[in-house]
Structure 1
Amino acid sequence: MKKETILLVDDEKEIVELLDIYFSNEGYRLLKAYDGAEALSWLENEEVDLIILDVMMPRMDGIAACMKIREERHVPIIMLSAKNTDMDKINGLSIGADDYVGKPFNPLELVARAKSQLRRYHRFNKDTPVLVEEHTMAFEDLVIDTGKHEVHIDGQKVKLTPREFAILELLTRHQGQVLSMEQIYNNVWNEPFLDGGNTVMVHVRKIREKIEIDPKRPRYVQTVWGVGYKLDGPS
């Protein structure tokens, strides 16, 4: 599965190197810049999923860089600054930042905030496809390994029955597309639908109980009333 890329921008090299360690340990690909102009140069040739951007830097500061980035890109931006007044935070958010973290900060908290921004970005970015590499498919924090027949949510392994796995795999392969109960039943059970609607409903409910934080408000497997189910973020 393709690694998500984070661009770290701060003129304090110690901070950049520290964050490099924390985010690398979480499996992210890191790009490093030490002022706003260098950050913009990276963006000319690289696809970036998240930017962590310091406010006070030489050549081009974070405010100017953020405004320039927002002219063309909607990538999440977390601003870092030693200025921690409410007005500073409001100014940072008003020019297009998605979050604002004051210095000094806890690196683990910044990692958590970055993960939250990445989840939100991919959930609402309807152009984000399911990532497929050999036997692995991913959607948000849901990862399906068809080779090993394993499912992971937020890095935690989830045990599904063979039928449940087959339904989830089918929905993932058709991410964003609504599949009727009959289509699901025919593909998973390989027999005439007849009255298989209840069977599909029961299995979907069990899948939600295992992969959703709140099965009554599903984040992954969405119901399209009167039609069927789809794997997609909330509309």
Structure 2
Amino acid sequence: MNQPSFLDVISFGPGGWGAALLTGAVMTILIALSGFMIGSVIGTFGAWAKISGGRTIRVLADGYTTVLRGIPDLLVIYLFYFGGSAAVTAIGRFLGSEGFIGFPGFLAGALAVGITSGAQQTEVYRGAFRAVHRGEIEAAIACGMSRPLRFRRIIAPLTLRHALPGMGNVWQVVLKESALVSITGVVELLRQAQIGAGSTGMPFNFYIVAGGIYLMISTLSGAVLQRSERHFSRGVRRG
């Protein structure tokens, strides 16, 4: 029996793995986006806690960023998946159910990626806020702007402008972290490539294609972030 060619493997026709790899790529993007958005919310509150919170809140925020930036991301995914499964199983038994109940793999992965990226985004937003010139905030106060209006029209846009480069770096990290979520049973791009490699005995072909898809997603998202940076930097003189 002749071994299929490279083009046969990645095709969308009968016996091709193109559709499966594309589905895996979509799952990768969904995991990365979900984790990044969760991390953005956590990072916003974490930065606020470090900047404006009381002593206890600042200590808790510092502890959060120190712990999450100091332990492996894979360990966090394990804790969410197996810890969540243990909790769901215990609740099920309390309600009369029997047997093991697994925590949804996608949810566990998205939460774990969000928690880890939230620690990084906390520092990104905190640094971005510190980069806002104090005189711009004082000018807004002098104009009589209320605190919500000041945040909406001055602080948030300027902070976002300074945070975008760091957010781009965090996004690239989150995109690569999404490959770790396969341990929860989610079939994302890398896991699909592993399945295809095992089924056809052509690991090099599948991993090359997976690498190309990752690079394509990374390049396109990087272009979007660069365009966003230019948009929010309109009217700013560059040195």
TM-score w.r.t. structure 1 length? 0.28
Name whichever structure is richer in strand by fraction.
1
TM-score (normalised: structure 2): 0.28
Larger Rg: 2
Q: Which has the higher contact order (CA 8 A, sep 6+)?
A: 2
